[in-house]
Structure 1
Amino acid sequence: MSATINIQRAVESDVINVYGFLCALEEEKLDFNAFQEIFNRNLKNPDCHYFMAFDEAKCVGYASVHAQWLLHHCGKVGEIQEMFVVDNYRSKGVGSLLIQELMNVAERENFKILEVTANKKRVDTHRFYESKGLEPTHFKFVKKYG
C-alpha cells in the first residue's frame, strides 16, 4: 500500500466501484440499473454522504452515512449505511480514514447520534466499530418483503 490514501466525495462515475463493493459485501449480484438510479438520486440528496478511498488511482474503499431527523432523539441522527474496504487494504488504516470522514460529517452537521448496524456474523466489523467509539446498545429486527 502506498503511504497516502485519499478520501473524496463520490461522484456519478464511482457507481461501478461502489456496485462491485456492495455486491461483495452483500454476497449477491444486485440489480445494477436500480442500484445506479438510487446511487445517482442519493448523490443529489444533501442528507446522503458517500465517500471513496483511493490509493493513487485505485479505488480501495467506500463508506456512506445517511442523516434523518428523528423525533425520539429530538434531532438529526446519522446512520452508517455501507462501508467496504478491499481485502488487501484492510487493517491498514483505510477504514479508519473513512469512518473519520463520516464522523467529521456528524460533527459538522451536529448529529445527536451516529449509528451503524452490522450483520451478526461480522465479528471483526463489530470490533472495528467498537474501537472507533461506537457502542453496541441495540438489536435490529428485520422482516423482508418482495
Structure 2
Amino acid sequence: MNGMRKAQSEDVRFVYERMCDLEERVFDWQVFEPLYLEQLKDETMDSLIFEVDGKRAGYAAVRYGTYLHHCVRTAELIELNVDETRRDQGIGQAFFEEIVRLAKEKGCAELALATNQKRKRAHRFYEKNGMKATHFTYTKNI
C-alpha cells in the first residue's frame, strides 16, 4: 500500500522516532508514550501515517477547528516528518497533498502551520506548495 492511514497505538515507536528527528532531541519515552496514546483519542485531531510498500515512511498530526481570527474552519498541521531514509523520493509531497485533500474533505477552507525558523528546507517545501509566511510564532517555557 502507498498512502495515508490513521495512526494506531502500535505506531508509537515510529512516531517517537519521527518526533525526536523533527525536534533534534531525545524525548523521555515514559512521557511521550502516554501523550501519544492520549492524542490518538483527540477527536479534533488526526494522527496520520504515510506508508510506501506497506512500510511506515512518515507521520503527521493535524488539528481541525474554527478560529475567530481566521473566521473559517482551519486545518492546522502540527507535525510532519518523513523518515530520513525516505526523503527526496516525493513522499513528503504525496503526504502533504493527502493532508490538503483530507482537510478539504473535513470542510476546512485553509491549512496553517508553524515551523521552526532553522528548518529552511521545510520553509522551501511549504512555499513551493503555495503556503505563505504570514505570522510569527512565539514560545515561552513556563
Name the TM-score, length of structure 1 as normaliser: 0.88
Query: 1:30-109 alignment to 2 at 5 Å?
Result: 30-109=27-106
Runs (4+) off by over 3 Å: none
Task: Give, in whole Å, the separation in 1 of the partners of 2:98 and 2:38.
Answer: 21
Structure 1 gap ranges (5+): none
Task: Give, in whole Å, the separation in 2 of the partners of 1:124 and 1:89.
Answer: 15
| CA positional deviation for 1:10 | 0.6
| CA positional deviation for 1:133 | 1.4
Task: Give, in whole Å, the separation in 2 of the partners of 1:97 and 1:79.
Answer: 18
* Aligned: 1:119 with 2:116: yes
- Classify the secondary structure of the residue corresponding to 1:45: coil
Name the TM-score, length of structure 2 as normaliser: 0.90
- Classify the secondary structure of the residue corresponding to 2:69: helix
Aligned residue among 130, 136, 139 for 1:133? 130
Structure 2 gap ranges (5+): none
Question: What number of residue pairs does the alignment pair up?
Answer: 142
| CA positional deviation for 1:31 | 2.0
